[in-house]
């Protein structure tokens, strides 16, 4: 009897491990790319799953089923392939049998390439929390998978009638060698108890050093949670890292399940030379689907434990409609829009919405109730102009250049050849980069030229400026009170005290004053539970 279940998983993995992740996929599980009708698998085209997303649990369950059903059809030397097709038919539709060994080889290679790409995308610095034996386990799994891939390649060539008898004989020997090496490395994974130790490294502790002098280090998922929760800004890129970090180890363990299933379907310890004492040495090693199922079941249970330890959020900032549009300040719990909106003085007084301005005479010259009540809606949320207190929280922890600091969160003020911010003329401004705020607004005393004219008032604002008139960033944000407009129409009443309502459309806006709105919203407890990776208690 020979290995079949791993081939089933190989095909299934290629329908699930791709880079596309649908918005709303539970806990960031990889799902099928529904933009394509079919995917090429070796010699045949298989329809992709459409009715439901394929989850890791589904693949592992299918692997168990495939192992238990591995009877009948035989293929290249030493491999039975019937269960692969059985699993495929149940999971992603009927299969064109084609050359299963060639297809399996290609898919194993592609899986390795995708996992390598995933680690490269995350960046090596993300994995600097991986220590000691943890990295060795991943290397050992990769080596066993490589041996399996080599065995499949040599089996395919040994079965190629287009080769000479000598060439086929050479490939058969290479197949036997690579299969023996695969068994050796897979047996080492069992002897080292890699299933349990890799799970421990993810959720309990890592171990480095040697058996005589072991050193315990914090678990990977625990460290990741503390690292992310301790950072200032949660960006779309960081949000993706949370999911992809977990996916990397999740699929590494699925690959481990593939290797161990093949090992037991080839006979496990009884296929080893010399076989274990309890094996019947007078017979070929028999497949052991029950033990294969035990190992896969253990891995499946471990992944669920790891999911809880990872504290994966329900939603991710890198998914539509939030992708690249918002950032969360982990310290203030505020969510910010990443695209600033520029408004000149003329625009802010002509189209802004002011509230509470001129309510009481005693409010002059400061207007504690006077505020810019402009709003926006995007990414599924309602947004407002930040208060001074809100804006200052953005710069908590910054050192030096506030414009560069905002860039780390994804906020930039590059006008891109004048097309990004219509009406922005930085050389005319008293500050080339300044922020409009919700509060800090005030009105000058009402005045009129003659008794026959209506009263008008001027409007001022305390602006948070990040750069001077030449565009040189300040060492830290500066507060300046600036006149925004003159001769602004007001309601002709003493109670309220000559108030302005909505947009005053001042007759003479101050062209030297302009600024950006960084839209903000407060987050609810539910939001934080959805988006944050909180540190473990």
Q: What is the mean pLDDT of residues 460-485?
A: 96
What tokens appear for 237 in the block? 């890129």
E strand residue ranges, 379-527: 381-384, 434-435, 441-443, 456-467, 473-489, 500-502, 508-509, 514-517, 520-522
pLDDT for residue 217? 92
Distance CA 214, CA 516 (A): 56
CA dihedral (398, 401, 402, 407) in degrees, to 10, reads: -90
Q: What is the mean pLDDT of residues 61-66?
A: 69
Out of 20-29, 101-110, 260-269, 514-523, which region has the weakest mean confidence (pLDDT)? 20-29
pLDDT for residue 95? 38
Higher local confidence (pLDDT), 480 or 17: 480
CB-count exposure of residue 525 (10 Å: 0-12, 13-18, 19+): exposed
Confidence of residue 64 (pLDDT cuts 50, 70, 90): confident
Q: Looking at the predicted structure, is the pLDDT value of residue 436 above 60?
A: yes
pLDDT for residue 461? 95
What tokens appear for 405 in the block? 């600091």
CA dihedral (17, 19, 24, 26) in degrees, to 10, reads: 30
SS3 of 365, please? Answer: coil
pLDDT for residue 197? 95
Q: Locate tokens 């005053």: which residue? A: 504
Chain centroid to CA 113: 19
Q: Looking at the predicted structure, is the pLDDT value of residue 73 above 80?
A: no
Confidence of residue 113 (pLDDT cuts 50, 70, 90): confident
Helix residue ranges, H only, 355-506? 388-393, 402-409
Q: Looking at the predicted structure, is the pLDDT value of residue 35 above 50?
A: no
Chain centroid to CA 41: 28
pLDDT for residue 529? 86
Confidence of residue 92 (pLDDT cuts 50, 70, 90): very low
Confidence of residue 105 (pLDDT cuts 50, 70, 90): low
pLDDT for residue 50? 28
Q: Which positions ≥6 away from 525 have C-beta within 8 Å?
A: none
pLDDT for residue 125? 86
Q: Locate tokens 């943890």: which residue? A: 134
Q: Looking at the predicted structure, is the pLDDT value of residue 58 above 80?
A: no
In percent, how much of the chain has pLDDT > 90? 48
Closest Cα partner for 302 from 56, 115, 133, 21? 56
Q: Cα–Cα–Cα angle for 404, 439, 483, nearest 5°?
A: 85
DSSP annotation of 364 reads: -
Higher local confidence (pLDDT), 238 or 55: 238
pLDDT for residue 62? 66
What are phi and psi for residue 227, nearest 5 degrees?
Answer: -65, -50
E strand residue ranges, 177-264: 205-210, 213-218, 233-234
Q: Looking at the predicted structure, is the pLDDT value of residue 80 above 70?
A: no
CB-count exposure of residue 426 (10 Å: 0-12, 13-18, 19+): middle
Q: Looking at the predicted structure, is the pLDDT value of residue 108 above 70?
A: no
Looking at the chain, the number of H-run helices and the number of E-run strands are 14, 20
Paired residues of 447 in beta bridges? 456
Closest Cα partner for 485 from 517, 442, 449, 452? 442
Higher local confidence (pLDDT), 228 or 22: 228
Q: pTM (2 decimals)?
A: 0.77
Distance CA 506, CA 467 (A): 26
Q: Locate tokens 């899986």: which residue? A: 111
Out of 36-50, 264-278, 313-327, 373-387, which region has the weakest mean confidence (pLDDT)? 36-50
Distance CA 330, CA 445 (A): 42
Paired residues of 336 in beta bridges? 327, 520
What are phi and psi for residue 217, nearest 5 degrees?
Answer: -125, 160
CB atoms within 10 A of CB 151: 29
Distance CA 272, CA 172 (A): 18
Q: What is the mean pLDDT of residues 362-367?
A: 71
Confidence of residue 264 (pLDDT cuts 50, 70, 90): confident
Query: pLDDT tens-digit profile of 178-199?
Result: 888 999 999 999 999 999 999 9
Confidence of residue 21 (pLDDT cuts 50, 70, 90): very low
Q: Which of 87-91, 120-124, 237-241, 452-456 has the highest mean pLDDT?
A: 452-456
Distances in whole angstroms, Cα of residue 92 to Cα of each of 22, 29, 63, 68, 255:
18, 17, 13, 19, 19
Q: Looking at the predicted structure, is the pLDDT value of residue 134 above 80?
A: yes
Strands 341-344, 514-517: pairing is antiparallel
Higher local confidence (pLDDT), 432 or 269: 432
Query: pLDDT tens-digit profile of 367-416?
Result: 788 999 999 999 999 999 999 999 999 999 998 899 999 999 999 999 98
What is the DSSP code string of 109-161?
HHHHHHHHHHHHHH-GGGGGG--THHHHHHHHHHHHHHHHHHHHHHHHHHT-T
DSSP annotation of 362 reads: G
If you average pLDDT over every residue of the chain, what do you get?
80
Closest Cα partner for 6 from 303, 289, 312, 218? 289
pLDDT for residue 509? 97
What tokens appear for 477 in the block? 């944000």
């Amino acid at each position: 009897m020979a290995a079949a279940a791993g081939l089933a998983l190989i095909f299934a993995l290629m329908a699930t491990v791709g880079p596309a992740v649908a918005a709303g996929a539970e806990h960031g599980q990889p799902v099928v790319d529904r933009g394509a009708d079919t995917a090429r698998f070796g010699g045949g085209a298989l329809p992709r799953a459409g009715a439901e997303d394929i989850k890791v649990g589904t693949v592992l369950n299918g692997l168990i089923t495939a192992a238990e059903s591995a009877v009948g059809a035989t293929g290249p030397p030493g491999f039975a392939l019937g269960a692969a097709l059985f699993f495929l038919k149940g999971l992603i539709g009927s299969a064109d049998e084609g050359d299963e060994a060639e297809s399996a080889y290609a898919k194993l290679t592609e899986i390795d390439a995708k996992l390598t790409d995933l680690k490269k995308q995350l960046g090596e610095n993300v994995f600097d929390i991986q220590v000691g034996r943890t990295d060795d386990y991943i290397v050992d799994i990769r080596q066993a998978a490589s041996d399996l891939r080599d065995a499949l390649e040599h089996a395919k060539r040994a079965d190629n009638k287009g080769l000479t008898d000598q060439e086929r004989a050479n490939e058969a020997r290479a197949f036997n060698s690579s299969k023996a090496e695969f068994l050796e490395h897979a047996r080492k994974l069992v002897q080292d108890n890699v299933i349990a130790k890799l799970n421990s490294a993810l959720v309990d502790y890592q171990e480095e050093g040697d058996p005589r002098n072991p050193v315990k280090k914090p678990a990977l998922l625990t460290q990741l949670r503390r690292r992310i929760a301790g950072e200032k800004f949660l960006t779309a890129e960081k949000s993706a890292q949370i999911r992809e970090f977990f996916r990397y180890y999740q699929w590494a363990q699925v690959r481990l399940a593939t290797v161990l299933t093949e090992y037991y379907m080839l006979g496990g310890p009884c296929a080893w030379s010399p076989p274990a004492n309890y094996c019947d040495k007078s017979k070929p090693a028999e497949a052991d689907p029950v033990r294969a199922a035990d190992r896969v079941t253990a891995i499946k249970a471990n992944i669920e434990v790891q999911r809880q330890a990872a504290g994966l959020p329900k939603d991710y900032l890198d998914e539509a409609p939030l992708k690249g549009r918002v950032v969360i300040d982990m310290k203030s719990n505020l969510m910010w829009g990443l695209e600033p909106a520029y408004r000149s003085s003329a625009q802010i007084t002509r189209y802004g919405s002011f509230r509470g301005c001129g309510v009481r005479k005693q409010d002059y010259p400061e207007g504690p109730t006077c505020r810019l009540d402009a709003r926006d809606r995007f990414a599924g949320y309602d947004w407002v102009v930040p208060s001074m207190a809100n804006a200052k929280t953005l710069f908590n922890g910054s050192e030096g250049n506030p414009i560069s600091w905002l860039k780390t969160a994804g906020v930039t003020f590059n006008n891109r050849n004048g097309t990004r911010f219509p009406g922005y003329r930085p050389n005319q401004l008293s500050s080339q980069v300044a922020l409009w705020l919700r509060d800090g607004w005030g009105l000058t005393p009402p005045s009129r030229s003659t008794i026959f004219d209506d009263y008008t008032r001027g409007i001022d604002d305390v602006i948070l400026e990040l750069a001077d008139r030449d565009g040189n960033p300040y060492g830290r944000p500066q507060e300046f009170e600036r006149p925004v407009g003159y001769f602004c129409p007001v309601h002709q009443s003493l109670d309220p005290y000559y108030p302005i309502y909505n947009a005053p459309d001042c007759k003479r806006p101050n062209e030297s004053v302009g600024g950006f709105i960084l839209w903000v919203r407060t987050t609810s407890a539910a939001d934080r539970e959805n988006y944050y990776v909180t540190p473990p208690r």
